[in-house]
A and B are shown apart, each in its own frame.
Chain A
Protein backbone atom coordinates (compact mmCIF):
# COMPACT_ATOMS: atom_id res chain seq x y z
CA UNK A 1 0.00 0.00 0.00
CA UNK A 2 1.43 3.34 -1.02
CA UNK A 3 1.18 5.54 2.01
CA UNK A 4 3.57 8.38 1.44
CA UNK A 5 1.74 10.28 -1.33
CA UNK A 6 4.38 10.86 -3.98
CA UNK A 7 7.13 11.50 -1.43
CA UNK A 8 9.73 9.62 -3.51
CA UNK A 9 9.03 11.62 -6.63
CA UNK A 10 9.11 14.90 -4.72
CA UNK A 11 12.50 14.13 -3.26
CA UNK A 12 13.70 13.14 -6.70
CA UNK A 13 12.71 16.51 -8.09
CA UNK A 14 14.10 18.44 -5.13
CA UNK A 15 17.48 16.75 -5.41
CA UNK A 16 17.71 17.46 -9.10
CA UNK A 17 16.81 21.11 -8.59
CA UNK A 18 19.44 21.58 -5.89
CA UNK A 19 22.07 19.92 -8.06
CA UNK A 20 21.30 21.98 -11.14
CA UNK A 21 21.32 25.21 -9.15
CA UNK A 22 24.64 24.36 -7.57
CA UNK A 23 26.12 23.67 -11.01
CA UNK A 24 24.80 26.58 -12.98
CA UNK A 25 25.88 26.82 -16.60
CA UNK A 26 26.45 30.54 -16.13
CA UNK A 27 24.07 33.21 -17.34
CA UNK A 28 20.41 32.54 -17.90
CA UNK A 29 19.41 29.38 -19.68
CA UNK A 30 17.52 31.30 -22.31
CA UNK A 31 20.62 32.85 -23.77
CA UNK A 32 20.28 31.09 -27.11
CA UNK A 33 18.63 34.08 -28.67
CA UNK A 34 21.60 36.34 -28.01
CA UNK A 35 21.44 36.79 -24.25
CA UNK A 36 24.38 36.90 -21.91
CA UNK A 37 25.86 33.60 -23.02
CA UNK A 38 29.37 34.57 -22.31
CA UNK A 39 29.96 37.67 -20.33
CA UNK A 40 31.86 39.57 -22.98
CA UNK A 41 34.30 42.05 -21.58
CA UNK A 42 35.76 40.33 -18.54
CA UNK A 43 38.87 38.64 -19.79
CA UNK A 44 38.58 35.88 -22.36
CA UNK A 45 36.03 35.58 -25.09
CA UNK A 46 34.25 32.92 -23.12
CA UNK A 47 33.68 33.63 -19.46
CA UNK A 48 31.25 31.99 -17.07
CA UNK A 49 31.84 28.37 -17.94
CA UNK A 50 30.92 25.43 -15.78
CA UNK A 51 33.67 24.59 -13.34
CA UNK A 52 33.29 20.84 -13.62
CA UNK A 53 31.47 19.75 -16.80
CA UNK A 54 31.08 16.23 -15.37
CA UNK A 55 28.65 17.69 -12.81
CA UNK A 56 26.42 19.39 -15.36
CA UNK A 57 23.85 16.67 -14.88
CA UNK A 58 23.38 14.19 -12.03
CA UNK A 59 22.96 10.48 -12.55
CA UNK A 60 19.52 9.39 -13.76
CA UNK A 61 17.91 7.87 -10.67
CA UNK A 62 16.57 4.69 -12.19
CA UNK A 63 15.77 3.01 -8.89
CA UNK A 64 13.72 5.96 -7.61
CA UNK A 65 11.87 6.41 -10.87
CA UNK A 66 11.01 2.71 -10.85
CA UNK A 67 9.70 3.06 -7.31
CA UNK A 68 7.50 5.98 -8.32
CA UNK A 69 6.09 4.02 -11.21
CA UNK A 70 5.38 1.16 -8.86
CA UNK A 71 3.55 3.57 -6.56
CA UNK A 72 1.45 4.67 -9.52
CA UNK A 73 0.66 1.05 -10.28
CA UNK A 74 -0.37 0.43 -6.67
CA UNK A 75 -2.71 3.42 -6.70
CA UNK A 76 -4.19 2.17 -9.92
CA UNK A 77 -4.75 -1.30 -8.49
CA UNK A 78 -6.48 0.07 -5.40
CA UNK A 79 -8.63 2.24 -7.64
CA UNK A 80 -9.72 -0.68 -9.75
CA UNK A 81 -10.37 -2.93 -6.76
CA UNK A 82 -12.49 -0.27 -5.00
CA UNK A 83 -14.46 0.44 -8.14
CA UNK A 84 -15.00 -3.27 -8.77
CA UNK A 85 -16.12 -3.95 -5.23
CA UNK A 86 -18.68 -1.18 -5.15
CA UNK A 87 -19.96 -1.33 -8.69
CA UNK A 88 -21.66 -4.64 -7.93
CA UNK A 89 -23.53 -3.09 -5.03
CA UNK A 90 -24.94 -0.53 -7.44
CA UNK A 91 -25.00 2.42 -5.03
CA UNK A 92 -24.96 6.00 -6.28
CA UNK A 93 -21.77 7.98 -5.51
CA UNK A 94 -23.73 10.59 -3.59
CA UNK A 95 -24.74 7.97 -1.06
CA UNK A 96 -21.19 6.78 -0.44
CA UNK A 97 -18.95 9.84 0.20
CA UNK A 98 -16.33 7.70 1.94
CA UNK A 99 -15.82 5.65 -1.21
CA UNK A 100 -15.88 8.69 -3.46
CA UNK A 101 -13.21 10.47 -1.41
CA UNK A 102 -11.03 7.38 -1.36
CA UNK A 103 -11.24 7.05 -5.13
CA UNK A 104 -10.43 10.74 -5.61
CA UNK A 105 -7.44 10.59 -3.29
CA UNK A 106 -6.00 7.59 -5.12
CA UNK A 107 -6.56 9.26 -8.44
CA UNK A 108 -5.00 12.56 -7.37
CA UNK A 109 -1.96 10.79 -5.94
CA UNK A 110 -1.56 9.00 -9.23
CA UNK A 111 -1.75 12.22 -11.24
CA UNK A 112 0.59 13.95 -8.84
CA UNK A 113 3.18 11.24 -9.33
CA UNK A 114 2.86 11.63 -13.05
CA UNK A 115 3.34 15.38 -12.89
CA UNK A 116 6.41 15.05 -10.69
CA UNK A 117 8.02 12.48 -12.98
CA UNK A 118 7.24 14.54 -16.06
CA UNK A 119 8.77 17.61 -14.44
CA UNK A 120 11.84 15.59 -13.45
CA UNK A 121 12.37 14.37 -16.98
CA UNK A 122 11.63 17.75 -18.49
CA UNK A 123 14.13 19.48 -16.23
CA UNK A 124 16.86 17.03 -17.23
CA UNK A 125 16.19 17.43 -20.93
CA UNK A 126 16.17 21.22 -20.65
CA UNK A 127 19.59 21.02 -19.04
CA UNK A 128 20.87 18.71 -21.76
CA UNK A 129 19.69 21.15 -24.43
CA UNK A 130 21.08 24.19 -22.63
CA UNK A 131 24.41 22.41 -22.26
CA UNK A 132 24.55 21.69 -25.98
CA UNK A 133 24.07 25.35 -26.82
CA UNK A 134 26.39 26.81 -24.25
CA UNK A 135 29.15 24.28 -23.68
CA UNK A 136 29.11 22.04 -26.74
CA UNK A 137 28.65 18.30 -26.86
CA UNK A 138 28.17 16.40 -23.62
CA UNK A 139 31.43 15.04 -22.27
CA UNK A 140 31.73 11.26 -21.89
CA UNK A 141 31.43 11.44 -18.09
CA UNK A 142 28.01 13.07 -18.43
CA UNK A 143 26.83 10.78 -21.21
CA UNK A 144 27.08 7.86 -18.82
CA UNK A 145 24.62 9.53 -16.46
CA UNK A 146 21.82 9.53 -18.99
CA UNK A 147 19.09 6.94 -19.19
CA UNK A 148 18.80 5.15 -22.50
CA UNK A 149 15.78 7.16 -23.75
CA UNK A 150 17.74 10.28 -22.87
CA UNK A 151 20.70 9.06 -24.88
CA UNK A 152 18.32 8.55 -27.76
CA UNK A 153 17.04 12.08 -27.33
CA UNK A 154 20.56 13.50 -27.37
CA UNK A 155 21.39 11.54 -30.50
CA UNK A 156 18.34 12.78 -32.35
CA UNK A 157 18.70 16.34 -31.13
CA UNK A 158 22.30 16.29 -32.30
CA UNK A 159 21.25 14.98 -35.68
CA UNK A 160 18.52 17.57 -36.07
CA UNK A 161 20.82 20.40 -35.14
CA UNK A 162 23.54 19.16 -37.48
CA UNK A 163 21.08 18.84 -40.35
CA UNK A 164 19.72 22.33 -39.85
CA UNK A 165 23.15 23.84 -39.49
CA UNK A 166 24.23 22.17 -42.67
CA UNK A 167 21.30 23.70 -44.53
CA UNK A 168 21.89 27.11 -43.01
CA UNK A 169 25.63 26.84 -43.54
CA UNK A 170 26.68 28.23 -40.18
CA UNK A 171 27.48 26.95 -36.71
CA UNK A 172 24.52 28.39 -34.80
CA UNK A 173 25.86 27.71 -31.34
CA UNK A 174 28.77 30.14 -31.56
CA UNK A 175 29.25 33.78 -32.43
CA UNK A 176 26.62 35.57 -30.38
CA UNK A 177 29.04 38.46 -30.12
CA UNK A 178 30.68 40.15 -33.09
CA UNK A 179 34.36 39.18 -33.05
CA UNK A 180 36.81 41.98 -32.44
CA UNK A 181 39.56 40.20 -34.32
CA UNK A 182 39.73 37.70 -37.13
CA UNK A 183 42.27 35.37 -35.56
CA UNK A 184 42.44 34.17 -31.99
CA UNK A 185 45.62 33.42 -30.12
CA UNK A 186 45.14 30.08 -28.41
CA UNK A 187 47.10 27.56 -26.42
CA UNK A 188 46.31 23.87 -26.92
CA UNK A 189 45.00 22.14 -23.79
CA UNK A 190 44.04 18.78 -25.24
CA UNK A 191 46.00 17.02 -27.98
CA UNK A 192 44.00 17.32 -31.20
CA UNK A 193 46.53 16.13 -33.77
CA UNK A 194 46.60 17.88 -37.13
CA UNK A 195 43.54 19.90 -38.13
CA UNK A 196 42.64 21.82 -41.24
CA UNK A 197 41.57 25.47 -41.02
CA UNK A 198 40.51 28.21 -43.41
CA UNK A 199 43.14 30.87 -44.28
CA UNK A 200 46.04 29.09 -42.60
CA UNK A 201 45.76 25.51 -43.84
CA UNK A 202 46.89 22.71 -41.59
CA UNK A 203 48.00 23.23 -38.00
CA UNK A 204 49.64 20.71 -35.72
CA UNK A 205 47.77 21.10 -32.43
CA UNK A 206 49.95 19.55 -29.77
CA UNK A 207 49.50 20.19 -26.06
CA UNK A 208 51.11 23.42 -24.91
CA UNK A 209 51.74 24.90 -28.35
CA UNK A 210 50.40 28.36 -29.21
CA UNK A 211 48.59 29.12 -32.47
CA UNK A 212 46.72 31.86 -34.27
CA UNK A 213 43.48 30.27 -35.50
CA UNK A 214 40.43 31.62 -37.37
CA UNK A 215 37.82 32.93 -34.95
CA UNK A 216 34.85 30.76 -35.93
CA UNK A 217 36.72 27.45 -35.72
CA UNK A 218 38.65 28.34 -32.60
CA UNK A 219 35.60 29.53 -30.67
CA UNK A 220 33.92 26.12 -30.83
CA UNK A 221 37.07 24.36 -29.62
CA UNK A 222 37.56 26.88 -26.81
CA UNK A 223 33.97 26.39 -25.62
CA UNK A 224 34.57 22.66 -25.50
CA UNK A 225 37.69 23.32 -23.43
CA UNK A 226 40.16 21.88 -25.91
CA UNK A 227 41.92 25.17 -26.48
CA UNK A 228 42.61 28.06 -24.15
CA UNK A 229 42.11 31.60 -25.35
CA UNK A 230 45.06 33.88 -24.64
CA UNK A 231 43.76 37.42 -24.30
CA UNK A 232 46.30 40.20 -24.76
Chain B
Protein backbone atom coordinates (compact mmCIF):
# COMPACT_ATOMS: atom_id res chain seq x y z
CA UNK B 1 0.00 0.00 0.00
CA UNK B 2 2.99 2.23 0.49
CA UNK B 3 3.34 2.49 -3.25
CA UNK B 4 -0.29 3.33 -3.93
CA UNK B 5 0.56 6.72 -5.39
CA UNK B 6 3.87 5.70 -6.95
CA UNK B 7 3.48 6.43 -10.66
CA UNK B 8 6.39 4.22 -11.73
CA UNK B 9 4.94 1.32 -9.82
CA UNK B 10 1.57 1.85 -11.47
CA UNK B 11 2.99 2.05 -14.96
CA UNK B 12 5.18 -1.01 -14.42
CA UNK B 13 2.06 -3.01 -13.59
CA UNK B 14 0.55 -1.90 -16.88
CA UNK B 15 2.92 -4.08 -18.95
CA UNK B 16 1.13 -7.05 -20.46
CA UNK B 17 1.97 -10.72 -20.27
CA UNK B 18 0.44 -13.76 -21.99
CA UNK B 19 -1.87 -15.87 -19.87
CA UNK B 20 -4.04 -18.96 -20.23
CA UNK B 21 -7.39 -19.04 -18.47
CA UNK B 22 -8.21 -22.01 -16.23
CA UNK B 23 -11.85 -21.05 -16.01
CA UNK B 24 -14.36 -19.61 -18.40
CA UNK B 25 -15.42 -16.02 -17.83
CA UNK B 26 -19.04 -15.01 -17.92
CA UNK B 27 -19.94 -12.19 -20.28
CA UNK B 28 -16.41 -10.91 -20.92
CA UNK B 29 -15.44 -12.89 -24.04
CA UNK B 30 -15.18 -9.92 -26.39
CA UNK B 31 -13.67 -7.64 -23.77
CA UNK B 32 -10.78 -9.93 -22.84
CA UNK B 33 -10.06 -11.33 -26.29
CA UNK B 34 -11.19 -9.38 -29.37
CA UNK B 35 -10.99 -12.51 -31.53
CA UNK B 36 -13.43 -14.42 -29.30
CA UNK B 37 -16.79 -15.10 -30.95
CA UNK B 38 -18.94 -16.12 -28.02
CA UNK B 39 -20.26 -13.98 -25.20
CA UNK B 40 -18.37 -15.94 -22.58
CA UNK B 41 -14.65 -16.55 -22.67
CA UNK B 42 -14.04 -20.34 -22.96
CA UNK B 43 -11.63 -22.32 -20.79
CA UNK B 44 -8.04 -22.37 -22.02
CA UNK B 45 -8.14 -19.09 -23.93
CA UNK B 46 -4.85 -17.35 -24.59
CA UNK B 47 -5.15 -13.71 -23.56
CA UNK B 48 -2.68 -10.88 -23.07
CA UNK B 49 -3.46 -9.19 -19.78
CA UNK B 50 -1.85 -6.29 -17.94
CA UNK B 51 0.17 -7.42 -14.94
CA UNK B 52 -2.19 -5.97 -12.31
CA UNK B 53 -5.06 -8.13 -13.54
CA UNK B 54 -2.99 -11.23 -14.30
CA UNK B 55 -1.37 -11.06 -10.86
CA UNK B 56 -4.71 -10.87 -9.07
CA UNK B 57 -6.32 -13.70 -11.04
CA UNK B 58 -3.31 -16.00 -10.90
CA UNK B 59 -3.29 -15.76 -7.10
CA UNK B 60 -6.80 -17.16 -7.24
CA UNK B 61 -5.69 -19.89 -9.66
CA UNK B 62 -8.04 -18.63 -12.33
CA UNK B 63 -5.34 -18.38 -14.96
CA UNK B 64 -1.81 -19.45 -15.64
CA UNK B 65 0.65 -16.65 -16.46
CA UNK B 66 3.59 -17.01 -18.83
CA UNK B 67 6.76 -14.98 -19.09
CA UNK B 68 6.42 -11.85 -21.23
CA UNK B 69 8.27 -11.69 -24.51
CA UNK B 70 11.21 -9.70 -23.22
CA UNK B 71 12.10 -12.47 -20.77
CA UNK B 72 11.83 -15.37 -23.22
CA UNK B 73 14.72 -17.78 -23.55
CA UNK B 74 16.16 -16.38 -26.77
CA UNK B 75 16.42 -12.84 -25.48
CA UNK B 76 17.73 -14.07 -22.17
CA UNK B 77 20.64 -15.73 -23.94
CA UNK B 78 21.30 -12.51 -25.75
CA UNK B 79 21.45 -10.66 -22.45
CA UNK B 80 23.76 -13.22 -20.92
CA UNK B 81 26.19 -12.83 -23.82
CA UNK B 82 26.65 -9.07 -24.02
CA UNK B 83 24.49 -7.56 -21.36
CA UNK B 84 26.04 -4.13 -21.60
CA UNK B 85 24.96 -3.24 -25.10
CA UNK B 86 21.42 -4.62 -25.05
CA UNK B 87 18.67 -2.04 -25.35
CA UNK B 88 16.53 -2.66 -22.28
CA UNK B 89 14.45 0.46 -22.83
CA UNK B 90 13.12 -0.97 -26.03
CA UNK B 91 12.25 -4.28 -24.34
CA UNK B 92 10.50 -2.95 -21.31
CA UNK B 93 11.00 0.37 -19.58
CA UNK B 94 10.44 -1.17 -16.17
CA UNK B 95 12.63 -4.21 -16.75
CA UNK B 96 13.72 -4.80 -13.15
CA UNK B 97 10.58 -3.59 -11.45
CA UNK B 98 8.35 -5.87 -13.51
CA UNK B 99 10.84 -8.71 -13.24
CA UNK B 100 10.81 -8.38 -9.48
CA UNK B 101 7.03 -8.47 -9.46
CA UNK B 102 7.01 -11.53 -11.71
CA UNK B 103 9.21 -13.35 -9.20
CA UNK B 104 6.38 -13.18 -6.68
CA UNK B 105 3.98 -15.07 -8.97
CA UNK B 106 3.48 -18.64 -7.78
CA UNK B 107 2.49 -20.60 -10.86
CA UNK B 108 4.78 -19.04 -13.45
CA UNK B 109 6.93 -21.24 -15.67
CA UNK B 110 10.62 -20.43 -15.62
CA UNK B 111 10.37 -18.13 -12.62
CA UNK B 112 12.87 -20.20 -10.59
CA UNK B 113 16.00 -18.67 -12.08
CA UNK B 114 14.38 -15.32 -12.86
CA UNK B 115 15.70 -13.46 -9.84
CA UNK B 116 19.23 -14.76 -10.37
CA UNK B 117 19.01 -13.74 -14.01
CA UNK B 118 17.83 -10.23 -13.16
CA UNK B 119 20.62 -9.79 -10.65
CA UNK B 120 23.17 -11.06 -13.15
CA UNK B 121 21.97 -8.66 -15.80
CA UNK B 122 22.13 -5.75 -13.41
CA UNK B 123 25.60 -6.45 -12.06
CA UNK B 124 27.11 -6.96 -15.49
CA UNK B 125 25.60 -3.71 -16.74
CA UNK B 126 26.33 -1.72 -13.61
CA UNK B 127 30.12 -1.35 -14.00
CA UNK B 128 29.87 0.07 -17.47
CA UNK B 129 27.05 2.33 -16.39
CA UNK B 130 29.01 3.75 -13.48
CA UNK B 131 32.06 4.50 -15.62
CA UNK B 132 30.00 6.12 -18.34
CA UNK B 133 28.14 8.28 -15.87
CA UNK B 134 31.39 9.85 -14.66
CA UNK B 135 33.42 10.22 -17.81
CA UNK B 136 32.10 10.34 -21.33
CA UNK B 137 31.22 12.81 -24.05
CA UNK B 138 27.79 14.39 -24.16
CA UNK B 139 27.00 12.66 -27.40
CA UNK B 140 27.86 9.22 -26.10
CA UNK B 141 25.93 9.91 -22.94
CA UNK B 142 22.79 10.73 -24.89
CA UNK B 143 22.99 7.52 -26.87
CA UNK B 144 23.74 5.56 -23.75
CA UNK B 145 20.73 6.79 -21.80
CA UNK B 146 18.50 5.48 -24.57
CA UNK B 147 19.34 1.85 -23.82
CA UNK B 148 18.88 2.04 -20.04
CA UNK B 149 15.77 0.87 -18.28
CA UNK B 150 13.97 3.35 -16.03
CA UNK B 151 15.59 2.09 -12.86
CA UNK B 152 19.05 2.26 -14.40
CA UNK B 153 18.36 5.71 -15.77
CA UNK B 154 17.58 7.01 -12.32
CA UNK B 155 20.81 5.60 -10.93
CA UNK B 156 22.68 7.05 -13.89
CA UNK B 157 21.26 10.54 -13.40
CA UNK B 158 22.03 10.43 -9.69
CA UNK B 159 25.59 9.30 -10.29
CA UNK B 160 26.09 12.20 -12.66
CA UNK B 161 24.58 14.68 -10.23
CA UNK B 162 26.77 13.45 -7.40
CA UNK B 163 29.95 13.67 -9.43
CA UNK B 164 28.96 17.19 -10.48
CA UNK B 165 28.29 18.16 -6.87
CA UNK B 166 31.63 16.70 -5.86
CA UNK B 167 33.48 18.75 -8.47
CA UNK B 168 31.68 21.88 -7.40
CA UNK B 169 32.61 21.29 -3.79
CA UNK B 170 36.24 20.48 -4.42
CA UNK B 171 36.77 23.57 -6.56
CA UNK B 172 34.85 25.99 -4.40
CA UNK B 173 36.80 25.03 -1.29
CA UNK B 174 39.89 26.87 -2.47
CA UNK B 175 37.88 30.03 -3.02
CA UNK B 176 36.38 29.98 0.43
CA UNK B 177 39.69 29.68 2.24
CA UNK B 178 41.29 32.50 0.37
CA UNK B 179 38.45 34.85 1.16
CA UNK B 180 38.60 34.01 4.85
CA UNK B 181 42.30 34.81 5.00
CA UNK B 182 41.73 38.19 3.43
CA UNK B 183 39.09 39.08 5.98
CA UNK B 184 41.28 38.02 8.88
CA UNK B 185 44.11 40.20 7.65
CA UNK B 186 41.91 43.24 7.47
CA UNK B 187 40.52 42.51 10.89
CA UNK B 188 43.98 42.37 12.38
CA UNK B 189 44.83 45.73 10.92
CA UNK B 190 41.72 47.26 12.48
CA UNK B 191 42.37 45.73 15.86
CA UNK B 192 45.75 47.37 16.11
CA UNK B 193 47.99 44.67 14.86
CA UNK B 194 51.22 46.64 15.46
CA UNK B 195 50.57 46.98 19.16
CA UNK B 196 50.00 43.26 19.63
CA UNK B 197 53.03 42.29 17.65
CA UNK B 198 55.31 44.62 19.56
CA UNK B 199 54.26 43.27 22.95
CA UNK B 200 54.19 39.56 22.11
CA UNK B 201 57.96 38.92 21.77
CA UNK B 202 58.50 40.53 25.16
CA UNK B 203 56.04 38.18 26.85
CA UNK B 204 57.38 35.03 25.21
CA UNK B 205 60.97 35.95 26.08
Per the bound structure, the CA–CA distance linking A100 and B24 in Å amounts to 10
Say whether, besides A3-B30, A5-B50, A13-B7, A104 and B23 are in contact (CB < 8 Å). no
Among B26, B30, B52, B53, contact of A102 (Cβ-Cβ < 8 Å):
B26
Q: Given A5-B53, A41-B172, A104–B60 Cβ distance below 8 Å?
A: yes
The answer to whether the Cβ of B57 comes within 8 Å of any Cβ in the partner chain is yes
Q: How far is the CA of A4 from the CA of B56 in the complex (A)?
A: 17
Looking at B7, B56, B60, the one whose CB has the most chain A CB atoms below 10 A away is B7
| Residues in B whose Cβ lies below 8 Å from that of A105 | 25, 28, 32, 53, 57
Q: Give the interface size bracket for B toward A.
A: 20 to 34
Most buried by B among A2, A82, A96, A108: A108
Residue A97, interface by CB 8 Å? yes
Contact among B11, B23, B53, B168 for A13, CB-based, below 8 A: B11
Within 90-135 of A, Cβ neighbours of B (below 8 Å) are at 96-102, 104-105, 108-109, 112, 115-116, 118-119, 122-123
Give CA–CA (A100, B22) in the complex, Å.
12
Residues of chain A within 8 A (CB-CB) of B197 are none
Question: Which secondary structure dominates chain A's binding surface?
Answer: helix
A10 interface residue per 8 A CB criterion: yes
Enumerate chain A residues within 8 angstroms of B30, measured Cβ to Cβ. Answer: 1, 3
Q: Mark A1-35, 1 if CB is under 8 A from B, else 0.
A: 11101000010011001000000000000000000
| Complex Cα spacing A116 to B13, Å | 11
CA distance A123 to B27 in the complex (A): 35
The residue from A14, A98, A123 contacting B26, defined by CB atoms under 8 A apart:
A98
Query: In whole angstroms, what is the CA distance A119 to B6 when docked?
Result: 7
| Complex Cα gap A112–B55 (Å) | 13
Closest to A107 in B: B56
B52 x A112 contact (CB < 8 A): yes
User: Which residues on B are within 8 Å of A, measured CB to CB?
Assistant: 4-7, 10-11, 14, 21, 23-28, 30-32, 40, 50, 52-53, 56-57, 60, 62, 168, 172
16 other A-B residue contacts (CB within 8 Å) besides A1-B30, A102-B26: A3-B30, A10-B10, A13-B7, A14-B11, A17-B11, A96-B26, A98-B24, A98-B26, A100-B23, A105-B28, A108-B52, A109-B53, A112-B52, A112-B53, A118-B5, A119-B5
